[in-house]
Structure 1
Amino acid sequence: MNTPHVVVVMGVAGTGKTTIGPLLAARLGVPYAEGDDFHPQANIAKMSAGTPLTDEDRRPWLDAIGAWAHGRAGLGGVVSCSALKRSYRDRLRAAAPGVVFVHLTGDRALIEDRMSHRQGHFMPTALLDSQFATLQPLQADEAGVDVDVSGSPEEITERAALALEDLPEPVQ
């Protein structure tokens, strides 16, 4: 991989996007951006209250992440973003055509257990069902890889980095 990818670490809440994202960025030698930081305050308040976001709520958030990814084209970067629906990923790809996805996947019980032990995060475990209901896994025509979240963060990061090596060069 000569040209660094702009990587979106995606998946339902609790899969470890905020843990794996910075580790993967460090492994790849590129900057990391926390997707939650792109949310408008209204979205955070809604999720904190246990209310799932609508597609309309997500548009400015996805556009902000897409703008960041576009700015990193040719330079590389890693950003976390749930990107649960194909339409969300399409919106990100429209903003940054060379973006690739690392879909963190795992057993629901493991993810729920990890979520229940998080401290200081606005996403309640009660929204996990809505996350799984919304999830549309990566399709064969989408640039990306699925990475299982069992094991240590270092093991997951290594699996992700190795899987990314097999992807074609990003489109600029």
Structure 2
Amino acid sequence: MIRNLLTISGLALICAVVGAQSPPQLSVLDQNRLLQRNRELLRELVGRSLELAKSTDPLAKLGSCQPIVAKLTDEIRIASEANDLPRVIELGKHLDKLLLDGVTPNVQRARGRITRGSQDERKFIEVRDQILQSVAPIESAIPANSRSGQGRELSELRQLLQDAQNQIRKASGF
């Protein structure tokens, strides 16, 4: 009885020690590899974010969002082709956030300021359509089935992106 109790206590202590260890740190080489992989994406995000911050015009802001959406969708496609599903999921969630919190509000604001039939309306429709056309192919690029156990997350991501596109269409008023 005491032997069993000591064995269980010893195993519990080992589990506690192992569980208390911090996750392994990325090596400098891994950190550099990740930075290189994300360099162009970061450059695009920072540059366009500065444009967004400078502008008060929602149509101009929408125009600044479009290249960010295009860059994110390109990166998602590349990750999908490389079967890098965690990256697909991570970037897809960022894209969804951008569409819902960046694009959709600017679509709503721009729509409220634009006169029907004006040159601004044509520009608005063009930019909105470019954004939607950038996102649409990503749904099919996201793998439908995954043996890695991420199938549910990928399915949810596809649904999130469909919902975000529908929100943009709804916000545009036509």
Question: Do the two structures share a fold, i.e. TM-score over 0.5?
Answer: no
Query: Higher helix fraction: Structure 1 or Structure 2?
Result: 2
Larger radius of gyration: 2
